[in-house]
Amino acid sequence: MLGWLTLLLPILLTLNLNALNPGDFLHGRYTYLPLAGLLLLLATMWHMTEIFRIPLLLAFGLLAIFFAIFTVKQESIWKDDLAVFTAAHEIAPYNAPVALNLARAHVQAAIALGNAGHCDDAVPTFNQVIRE
């Protein structure tokens, strides 16, 4: 019972997405406490299933390998703001906060080019941001 309560009660507060900032509703911190409840439930299941421990261990191991492969594939998206917001803009092209953050990331990249003495390379980026 404690596992179910720890899993469900903290997440109920975040289900009212209108109370959060528009475009800013998906954060990992909302899952910390519910994850503790899920782990309590998994530990209880592990304790109650003596016969199926080896198949469960193998299944969880395969699941961990599967998730590790996808984590490595997704890792390149998080290298900098420009990569993050470019990927986000591809997924949600009409999301205004994402478009604004992508423009800001382009401007920051252009400023870095200008500071490095590559002003000719920075001008097209500024022009593109102004057009968009």
pTM of this structure: 0.52
Work out the average pLDDT over 9-34. 64
Q: State the pLDDT at residue 63.
A: 93
Phi, psi for residue 98 in degrees, rounded to 5: -65, -45
User: What tokens does 85 get?
Assistant: 């917001």
Q: Is the pLDDT of residue 46 over 90?
A: no
pLDDT digits (tens, 9 = 90+) for 72-93: 988 888 888 888 898 988 988 8
What is the residue-wise DSSP string for 44-105? Answer: HHHHH-STTHHHHHHHHHHHHHHHHHHHHHHGGGGSSHHHHHHHHHHH-TT-HHHHHHHHHH
Whether residue 14 is predicted with pLDDT greater than 70 in this model: the reply is no
pLDDT of 25 higher than 60? no
pLDDT range class, residue 65, cuts 50, 70, 90: very high
Q: What's the whole-number mean pLDDT along residues 116-129?
A: 81
Tell me the pLDDT of the chain averaged across its residues.
81
Percent of the chain with pLDDT over 70: 84
Of the two residues 66 and 107, the one the predictor is more confident about is: 66
